[in-house]
Chain A
Amino acid sequence: MILIDKYAYDSKLACVSPKAKLIYTMLPLLLCISLNSLVVSLVTIIVMAVTTVGVGKIKLTAYVKLLFIPFGFLMVGTITILINRFAPNHIYLLGVKIGKYAYGIDWGTLTNSLKLVLKALGGVSCMYCLSLSTPMTDLFQVLRRTKIPTVIVTLMELIYRYIFVLLDEVERMNIAKNSRLGNHNFRTSLKSTSELISMLFIRAYNRSDRVYAALESRGYNGQFVTLDEEYVHGKKMYMLSILLCLLLLSAGIAERYLL
């Protein structure tokens, strides 16, 4: 998670308006999922990969590695769709007869599972395109302008910031724990982990006091208003979003009526 976060700041697209990027990735995501077509999914995957790797300049190897993370889950999930139970006289591509039924793969299950895998990958690559080009703080700025209550966005911001501080603290406490044989055996590791968790809670609570004092000293008045970041205007990106959506729609229609 920390790694992914770093890519976003390195992306060449980081300076583009986050709103434009949100539209550019979320509309195709919706289309890709709702149209449920092989071609649309493939086009989505390719376009998002080109955007992320080609334009955003994320390393191809890193991108492929990231795509493999959900791939494992997908494989496990689609196996149940891919392999089905058939009547023994059914024409299947691959299978074995066990007792009264045959178990295996036929054209229908193959296309269905392929569609599912590609659809999911299409969705994932849309999400990656967004998260690998848009730092969280930029997203918060967009969310602030929506109807979402500001208190929730503020909480998101604070949680996101202090995740890293807490992680740091956990890491240090963990090293201290291990250096004193806190993981000597199962019993001690259970005990020391429970102590670590309660200590962490107390530390977080104490820190919140200090954070509040620091905020107060800078004139905090219940509002987390800060300067908005300035972006390259996303005019081009909006145009591209429309074009991409049209492309996906026509691909979906073409597949349905022509093939």
Chain B
Amino acid sequence: MYIIETKNLSYSYDGEHQALENVSISIKKGKTTAVLGGNGAGKSTLFLNLNGVLTPDRGKVFFDGKEVEYNKKGITEMRKRVGIVFQDPNDQLFSSSVKKDISFGAINLGLGVEEVRERVEKAVVQTGIGEYVDKPTHALSFGQKKRVAIAGVLAMEPDVIILDEPTAGLDSKGASEILNLLTKIKEETGVSVILATHEMDIVPVYCDDVFIMDHGKVVLGGNVREVISKPGILREHSLRLPRMAHLMEILSQRDKLNVDRTAATISEARASILSLMDG
């Protein structure tokens, strides 16, 4: 079951260069989908199209099986159901009060005050920001701001959360905290998650499906194992294998060991090596 599908989506900022060219992707409901690609690959443009901030030049977008119409009603509906967490939380948090910022999107949905208050409380608990919810935005650290930005999107209770580079600018602890938080939220609410990243190592751990973009086009898509089994295409588009999969590739190619080359996480690699030793 797909929550979002695009068919030949094209978009250009200036009418000359195609920022998106015939992008066709399908996002599974309740799963985490990674969109990989270097800077300028068109990830952000794609997300803004999926949220109605930009209107596609050509092509169609289906939400939950129904075609999205880019008129006022359709766009409002889309913003209700697709939330974006932007890369720099300073772009997203416009209010100096954390609580006010979280409530902004929920209020724009036209909900009653009590309902908004409940949702804000819930989002604060879900993202674990209770400790600093009464501090001013500018007193928070980067990672804390990121969580507040996520809370602001969660308060809108969307069906899909899109995160643009959720781990950029965070230390490794902060990054894994954010990703675990997302996994937890996904389990609790059944929301579908799309994340843009170029950090390959998080993909096999946290994601189910992957789409690879380059120069506005989708060059490869599928589940994580399928994509990892094509290292050639990854390298062609200035991406690399996850470290573990790279190790497996070397073990198999150079050392002629019969390991599972699609093992991309530590536990998969360990299982593969152990089974080799047993056999």
Q: Return the CB mask of B63-107 against A: 1 if under 8 Å, else 0.
A: 000000000000010011001101010111111110111011101
Is there a chain A Cβ closer than 8 Å to B120's Cβ?
yes
Q: Choose one: A2, A137, A165, A219; the contact of B97 (CB below 8 Å).
A: A137
Main SS class of interface, A: helix
Q: How many residues of A contact B (CB 8 A)?
A: 30
What are the interface flags for A133-149 relative to B under an 8 Å C-beta threshold, 1 for contact and 0 otherwise? 00111000000000000
Bound-state Cα–Cα, A9 to B134, Å: 8
B-binding segment of A59-67, A155-163, A236-244 = A155-163
State A101–B272 Cα separation when bound (angstroms).
103
**Contact across chains for B153 and A218 when beta carbons are under 8 A apart:** yes
Chain B stretch 111-140: residues in CB contact (< 8 A) with chain A: 113, 116-117, 120, 134-139
**With an 8 A cutoff between CB atoms, is B274 at the interface?**
no
Question: Which of A41-49, A175-183, A190-198, A209-217 is the interface stretch?
Answer: A209-217
A69 at the interface (CB under 8 A from B): no
Stretch at the interface among A71-79, A89-97, A113-121, A220-228: A220-228
Q: Which residue of A lies closest to B119 (CB)?
A: A227
B interface residues, tally (CB under 8 Å): 41
- Assess the B79–A226 pair: CB atoms within 8 A: no
Closest approach, in angstroms, between the C-beta of B87 and any C-beta of chain A? 9
- Determine if B136 and A135 form an interchain contact, defined as CB atoms under 8 angstroms apart: yes
Question: What is the distance, in angstroms, from A162's C-beta to the closest C-beta of chain B?
Answer: 8
Contact check: which of B51, B96, B156 meets A161 at CB < 8 Å?
Answer: B96
A160 contacts across to B, CB distance below 8 A: 96
Q: Are A227 and B86 within 8 A (Cβ)?
A: no
Contact of A221 among B48, B80, B108 (CB under 8 A): B108
A137 touches B95 (CB 8 A): yes
Contact assessment for B79 and A229 in the assembled complex, using a CB-CB cutoff below 8 Å: no
Given contacts A158-B94, A217-B53, contact A226 B100 (CB under 8 A): yes
The answer to whether B51 and A217 touch across the interface, beta carbons within 8 angstroms, is yes
A214, B113: Cβ atoms closer than 8 Å:
no
A164 nearest CB neighbor, chain B only: B138
Residue B257 at the chain A interface, CB threshold 8 Å:
no
**Quick check: is A5 within 8 A (CB to CB) of the other chain?**
yes
B103 & A9 in contact (Cβ 8 Å cutoff):
no
A219's contact among B80, B91, B134, B136, by CB below 8 Å, is which? Answer: B80
Distance in Å: Cβ of B155 to nearest Cβ of chain A: 9
Q: Tell me whether A207 is interfacial, beta carbon within 8 Å.
A: yes
Q: Does A6 contact B (CB under 8 A)?
A: yes
Residue B166 lies at the interface, judged by CB distance under 8 Å to chain A: no
Q: How far is the CA of A136 from the CA of B83 in the complex (A)?
A: 29
Expressed in whole angstroms, the Cα–Cα distance for A207 and B92 within the complex equals 10
Contact A226 B95 (CB under 8 A): yes
Check if B79 sits within 8 Å of A227, measured CB to CB.
no
A226 touches B103 (CB 8 A): yes
Neighbouring A residues of B242 by C-beta, 8 Å? none
Does B250 have its Cβ within 8 Å of any Cβ on chain A?
Answer: no
Measured between beta carbons, the chain A residues less than 8 angstroms from B104 are 218, 224-226
- Determine whether B109 belongs to the interface, using a CB cutoff of 8 Å to chain A: yes
Is B37 interfacial (CB 8 A cutoff)? no
Interchain CB contact under 8 A, A220 and B53: no
B152 close to A (CB within 8 Å): yes
Residues from chain A with Cβ under 8 Å of B94 in the complex: 157-158, 161, 211, 214-215, 224
Q: Which residues of B contact A136 (CB under 8 A)?
A: 96
Q: Judging by beta carbons under 8 Å apart, are B138 and A219 in contact?
A: no
B99 touches A219 (CB 8 A): no
- Say yes or no: B48 contacts A213, CB within 8 Å: yes
Decide if B86 touches A225 in the complex (CB within 8 Å): no
Q: Are B136 and A9 in contact (CB under 8 A)?
A: yes
Smallest CB separation, A205 vs chain B (Å): 13
Does A229 lie within 8 Å of B139, measured CB to CB?
Answer: no
What is the minimal beta-carbon distance from A221 to any residue of chain B, in angstroms?
A: 6
A218 touches B83 (CB 8 A): yes
Q: Are A217 and B48 in contact (CB under 8 A)?
A: yes
Q: How far is the CB of A227 from chain B (nearest CB, A)?
A: 4
- CB pair A137–B136 under 8 Å, yes or no, is yes
Interfacial chain A residues near B101, Cβ < 8 Å: 226
Q: List 18 A-B contacts (CB under 8 A).
A: A9-B136, A158-B94, A160-B96, A161-B94, A161-B95, A161-B96, A164-B137, A210-B86, A211-B92, A214-B84, A214-B94, A217-B52, A217-B53, A219-B108, A219-B156, A226-B101, A227-B99, A227-B103
Given contacts A161-B94, A218-B83, 11 further A-B contacts (CB under 8 A): A2-B138, A137-B95, A157-B96, A210-B91, A214-B84, A214-B92, A224-B95, A226-B101, A226-B104, A227-B117, A229-B97
Closest 7 CB pairs of A and B: A219-B108, A227-B103, A164-B138, A218-B105, A226-B100, A137-B97, A210-B91
